Amino acid sequence: MTELYGYIKALHLIFVITWFAGLFYVPRLFINHIEASLRPSPEKEILTKEFKLMTKRLWYIITWPSAILAVLFAIWLLVLFPGWLQQPWMHVKLTFVVLLILYHLKNHQIFKQLQRDEIKYTANFMRIWNEGATIILFAIVFLVVLKSTISWVYGVVGILTLGILLMLGIKLYKRIRDKNPDA
């Protein structure tokens, strides 16, 4: 079975990448949907209908299948190599994977609300929310690549720094956009 390792790992990585692609893009569609809801008729209805369709296709054709397949191939890898579960870095990685799944499920909840035209969040909140997947991706990739060589203190400081930089970038973008709405 270990001769399949390379194929299983490759498929796991492919589906992780496509899962993240969906998680990066779906909040952007949420932002567009929310902003479209503020436009005058008939523009509002036309854009909202289009964003609902785009989001539905992305969510059900790419994001959900990729999430399921990424997790299934990950479980298969852990079955092949159960010793990985004894590694401290794997415990931390799996914690971030749980956070990623929770992030995914929250996006699903927001998706369902927007499909029903229930707007509970601002576009600015969604811009910040959109960075959640980025922070989780950084954490997981660094853990997998560096494994036990990473200092947990430096890792935590790095993730917090990344989060702060992303928030500052969002605030700067908002300031630029407020001055020039076409930006």
Q: Is 12 annotated as a binding residue?
A: yes
Name the percent of the chain lying above pLDDT 90.
64
Give the integer Cα–Cα distance in Å for 52 and 56: 6
Q: What pLDDT score does 145 carry?
A: 80
Q: Which helix (H) or strand (E) holds 94?
A: helix 88-115
SS3 state at 131: coil
Low-confidence ranges of the chain (pLDDT < 50): none
Closest alpha carbon to 71 in 53, 97, 110: 97
E strand intervals along 24-166: none
Q: What pLDDT score does 153 carry?
A: 59
Give the integer Cα–Cα distance in Å for 174 and 166: 12
Give the integer Cα–Cα distance in Å for 1 and 40: 60
- Stated pTM of the model: 0.84
Q: What pLDDT score does 151 carry?
A: 64
C-alpha pair distances (Å), 6 with each of 14, 20, 30, 77, 117: 12, 21, 36, 10, 44
| In contact, 74 and 125? CB cutoff 8 Å | no
Residue 117 tokens, joined: 């035209």
Give the integer Cα–Cα distance in Å for 83 and 149: 18
